[in-house]
Amino acid sequence: MIKSISKAKSLRGEIIVPGDKSISHRAVMLGGISNGTTEITGFLEAADPLSTLSCYRAMGIESKVENGKLFIFGKGIHGLQKPSSVLDAGNSGTTMRLLSGILAGQKFPTSISGDQYLNKRPMKRIIDPLTKMGAKIASTEKYTAPLNISPVEKLRAIEYELPVASAQVKSAVLLAGLYADGVTKVIESKQSRDHTERMLNLSTEEINGKNIVSVTGGMKLTAKEFIIPGDPSSAAFFVVAGLISKSSEIIIRNVGLNPTRTGFLNVLRQMGGRIRIENERVVAGEPIGDLIVTSSELKSNLILQGDIIPNIIDEIPILSIAAAHAIGSFEVRGAKDLRNKETDRIVAVCKNLRAMGLTVDEFEDGFAFDSKNKLFNNNFESFDDHRIAMAFGIASLALEGESKITNAECVNISYPNFWDTLQILQH
């Protein structure tokens, strides 16, 4: 699908973005290995979380949707059954990496694979720590999927310091730790998103500037109710849309405000973005609130690097759009992991920014550019990556003339109604 987008006169309205993708994955995974029926409100019915749900169904976990809620009928920590075929994670790296931690502790063999894009993404980052725990995982020579996971007698508890901040690796080790003897600890020098430890109510402490999360093997999980807030990564696109479009005001209700996820708000405020938070509250252990965004004259002159990168890794594409429509320079460093997403997002962002008329320097771990007074509409490639498609869809709102996004249907990975919501706001 090719999506055509013209410059918006203004954006006005009130929206609710879909449920948080990260929490949706984890709610299904934890629900399936808990005792009893888990009730999930706000589950993101998009391709990635549905891949997790499909994998669980293949292992005998039943579920149903009723009155807008998803119910997972858990069978306890040892209740999963051997699937009859290869588990299909689709395009979802979260499904493959987190589920591998759970599969490593099962008493049956499993194979998990994905689509052509997922099967190119690096899995050594989870294979290494899980192998240290005693797991048996076979992959391709390049440490990519398909992954074949064989049963072992017992996993070992370990202390593992993350080489690079990654919530997926942290979560894979913690989930495997549920099946290990003793206490498994994950140490991170830069804190990554903490949904797994919140949802499992795990012990966390800070020692010498490092964040340490612990899980005790053999703990039994009891079903609970999860109320999933709006995904801040999805909200980020409309926050930037409201800032760069003239005469605009957008209200985004019930957005998750977990401090490990809201670095993008701090960056946009540094750029002069007018963003207010109202109705702040805590629901089911997660802080949420309403965002009110008003058109702003943005100034960048920013270098994003260091501790903030893990917090904003998914928002860097849309932050680059804010900077492109701002005055000043913009540089991203220490974000090499962008090359390991659904596509190489450094390549994708640089190519599309150049198509807008910017001169962009590409580095191994980031990119840099100076803004220009005149930007151009163009045909932008999505690279079959939902965040690239959405970012340059937003960019097009502030460009003269009509722009086009190729393979725009890839937004279904995280935000199936994205283009409809964008249309509703235009006036």
pLDDT tens-digit readout, 243-267? 999 999 999 999 999 999 999 999 9
At 284 the pLDDT is 82
**Cβ neighbourhood burial of 143 (10 Å; 0-12, 13-18, 19+):** middle
At 190 the pLDDT is 86
Cα–Cα distance measured from residue 85 to residue 225, given in angstroms and rounded to the nearest whole number? 31
| ∠ CA 92-96-98, rounded to 5° | 110
Cα–Cα distance measured from residue 283 to residue 285, given in angstroms and rounded to the nearest whole number? 5
At 285 the pLDDT is 84
Do 3-19+229-425 and 21-227 come out as alike in CATH topology?
Answer: yes
What's the rounded mean pLDDT across residues 172-190? 97
- Please, where are the H alpha helices in 69-183? 93-103, 124-132, 167-177
Q: pTM of this prediction? A: 0.93
Cα–Cα distance measured from residue 16 to residue 92, given in angstroms and rounded to the nearest whole number? 23
Dump pLDDT digits (tens) for 105-137: 999 999 999 999 999 999 999 999 999 999 999
Cα–Cα distance measured from residue 312 to residue 350, given in angstroms and rounded to the nearest whole number? 18
Q: Which of 314, 337, 384, 385 is catalytic?
A: 314
Cα–Cα distance measured from residue 233 to residue 230, given in angstroms and rounded to the nearest whole number? 9
pLDDT of residue 30 exceeding 90: yes
**92 touches 67 (CB < 8 A):** no
**46 touches 18 (CB < 8 A):** yes
At 427 the pLDDT is 81
CATH superfamily of 3-19+229-425: Enolpyruvate transferase domain (3.65.10.10)
Cα–Cα distance measured from residue 25 to residue 49, given in angstroms and rounded to the nearest whole number? 5
Dump pLDDT digits (tens) for 272-289: 999 999 999 998 889 999
What's the rounded mean pLDDT across residues 412-426? 96
Cα–Cα distance measured from residue 304 to residue 281, given in angstroms and rounded to the nearest whole number? 29
* Length of the chain counted residue by residue: 427
What's the rounded mean pLDDT across residues 296-302? 96
**What pLDDT band is residue 165 in, cutting at 50, 70 and 90?**
confident
Residue 420 known to be catalytic: no
**Residue from 254, 105, 248 nearest 175 by CA:** 105
Which residues have CB under 8 Å from 357's CB, separation 6+? Answer: 372, 374, 375, 376
Dump pLDDT digits (tens) for 208-230: 999 999 999 999 999 999 999 99
- In this structure, what token pair is assigned to residue 182? 């003793």
At 398 the pLDDT is 95
Cα–Cα distance measured from residue 355 to residue 417, given in angstroms and rounded to the nearest whole number? 26
Report domain extents, the chain: 3-19+229-425, 21-227
Give the alpha-carbon dihedral of 271, 275, 276, 279, to 10 degrees: -130
Dump pLDDT digits (tens) for 304-318: 999 899 999 999 999
pLDDT of residue 373 exceeding 90: no
pLDDT of residue 403 exceeding 90: yes
State the amino acid at position 303 in one-letter form.
Answer: I
What's the rounded mean pLDDT across residues 351-363? 98
**Residue from 363, 297, 360, 294 nearest 329 by CA:** 360
Q: What is the mean pLDDT of the chain?
A: 96
DSSP 8-state secondary structure symbol assigned to residue 162: -
At 267 the pLDDT is 98
- In this structure, what token pair is assigned to residue 234? 């999805």
CATH class held by domain 21-227: alpha beta
Which residues have CB under 8 Å from 330's CB, separation 6+? Answer: 300, 301, 302, 304, 320, 323, 324, 368, 369, 370, 371
Question: Within 10 A of 153 (CB to CB), how many other CB atoms are there?
Answer: 6
**Residue from 188, 66, 88 nearest 129 by CA:** 188
Cα–Cα distances (Å) from 176 to 32, 132, 264, in that order, read: 15, 11, 31
Which residues have CB under 8 Å from 37's CB, separation 6+? Answer: 71, 72, 73, 74, 223
At 124 the pLDDT is 97
What's the rounded mean pLDDT across residues 324-333? 97
